[in-house]
Amino acid sequence: MLAENKQPGDFIGTLAELQSSTGFARATVSEAVRLLRERGVMEIRPGRDGGLFVAETSPVIKLRHTLLTVRHSATSVADAIVVRESLEDILIVDAAAHRRESDIADLRALMAHLRTTKSSPEKFMTTNWKLHARIAEITPNALAKALYLGILDFIKSETSEFAPDETEWSENFENRIAVHDQLVEAIASGSSEAAREAVAVHNSTT
């Protein structure tokens, strides 16, 4: 998924501009772009007027997406998760700085639903992804949002089956809820310090 108001063929920026706008290392931005190209979300055009553009959706790309969701490299998914986590700091700190009352209400409603999913790990993951996508929607940084949502879509498509160990899942469900509660309440507080602390806890435990 790309940033709002972006259409196929629209210019996104250059690697240097992405690096400058997001504040991430060149290696992190390059890896994110690679994953988005694999997903068919973004394309690179060489030359004087080249750069990164929103990819045209074609039947070939749609077929490739379908094939990728059958089973792709586990290493690629692990790479995507690493890049996603590196983006979460800026997105959640931005969310704390720019959240509105409607945003807080939406996030708390998603948390309320998340608490009802103990009996279904699949529903937990689906709601968890919705929660993180909703957090990403708050940031005014369109490029960071585009990268994050694209990577989230990639991870979702590659992990359609979620079957954790039943004992581990039952024992750690409440901890997962607490970690995400901390994220939402840190955003609601408007504190960048609380947001960074919540991101650190989230990335170390989920």
- Catalogue all structural domains in the chain, each as residue range(s) with its CATH number: 11-205 (1.20.120.530)
Quick one: angle between helices 26-38 and 142-158, nearest 10? 50
157: amino acid identity, one letter: S
First to last CA, the chain: 23
| Alpha-helical segments (H) within 23-140 | 26-38, 59-70, 74-98, 101-114, 121-136
Closest CA to 206 of 119, 128, 115: 128
The pLDDT profile of the chain, 206 residues, written as one tens digit per residue, is 444 456 778 888 888 888 887 777 788 788 778 777 776 677 888 877 888 888 765 444 433 443 233 344 555 666 777 778 888 888 999 999 999 999 999 999 999 999 999 988 888 888 999 999 999 999 998 888 888 888 888 777 766 555 556 777 777 888 889 999 999 999 999 999 999 999 988 877 76
